[in-house]
Amino acid sequence: MSTKAKLYIATIATLAAVILAVVASRWNPESLTRFALFFGLAMLASAMKIRLPGFKTTISTNFVFILAGIALFSFGETVLIGLGGALVQSLWKTQTRPKPVQMLFNAACLTVCTAAAFWTSYTISTMLALNSMAAMMVLGACVYVVLNTGLVSLVISLAEGRPLGEIWSSCYEWTFPYFLVGAAVAGLASAASYGANGTNLGIAMLVIPAMYFVYVYYRMHIFRVVLENISRVSHEHETVLAGASPGR
């Protein structure tokens, strides 16, 4: 790994450590039982992950709970949902055991993305006097998607020496539809729960089965695309071999 990549990871990890220090100093959940239930569901969602073609990283449905957490929970609670989700996503049923530096970056990345999405949602909404949960969710989703794909693409670019624009474009192309559907589900669940003064998590629990079907569909879609690419490459290879064969 290059020196630039190491410095970049160290910077993101330091920023995440500062955020967690702020969380620890201001930790005061309104309902620990309510948060624990939501946290458990978020960790379950984190186990539903998909490996993106051409990348050594995965995406999971935990971002839906992060976005919902922006509307339903405090800053500290939402950040912990992001951090816990990153750890589950890194450790649960992995093909190869992740290196400590990979786990560190994944945890730091989601911590920073979650904090930025939460802060932006409330700060911009307050500045513009937007008393709208829908606007807050849109702001949070935009910041989370752009920052998440950007940070991941940059570390891959620095580590592997590949063009940043090419990596980010590919990552964004694969993840945007997934994030878009997830953001819509999170918005609907949050609106329903928020309408019950934030006490009814029953509707929020429906996020799990809803996102499970999205997860299955997207996984099948990626699998089909990979098979098509393999078939295309195989066909091109056979064509080249046929062209190179001596005529009779």
pLDDT at 225: 65
User: Which range, of 112-116, 127-131, 225-229, averages the lowest pLDDT?
Assistant: 225-229
Residue 115 above 50 pLDDT?
A: yes
With a CB cutoff of 8 Å and minimum separation 6, the contacts of 2 are 158, 159, 161
187, 144 Cβ separation under 8 angstroms: no
pTM: 0.79
pLDDT at 15: 96
User: Which range, of 48-52, 145-149, 193-197, averages the lowest pLDDT?
Assistant: 193-197
Give percent above pLDDT 70 in the chain: 77
pLDDT at 65: 86
For 143-184, how does the pLDDT look when each residue is reduced to its tens digit (9 = 90+)?
A: 998 898 899 889 989 988 888 888 888 777 777 777 777 777
Q: Angle 199-201-202 (CA atoms, 0-180°, nearest 5)?
A: 125
Burial class (CB in 10 A: 0-12, 13-18, 19+), 117: buried
Give percent above pLDDT 90 in the chain: 23
For 3-47, how does the pLDDT look when each residue is reduced to its tens digit (9 = 90+)?
A: 888 999 999 999 999 999 999 998 888 788 888 988 988 898 888
Domain positions in the chain are 3-218
Among residues 120, 187, 128, which one has the least CA distance to residue 147?
Answer: 120
Decide which of 189 and 126 is more confident.
126
Average pLDDT over residues 99-109: 91
Residue 199 above 50 pLDDT?
A: no
> Of all residues in the chain, what percent are helix, strand and coil, respectively (each to 5)?
80, 0, 20
CATH of 3-218, one of 1.10.1760.20, 3.40.50.2000, 3.30.160.20, 3.40.720.10: 1.10.1760.20
pLDDT at 248: 47
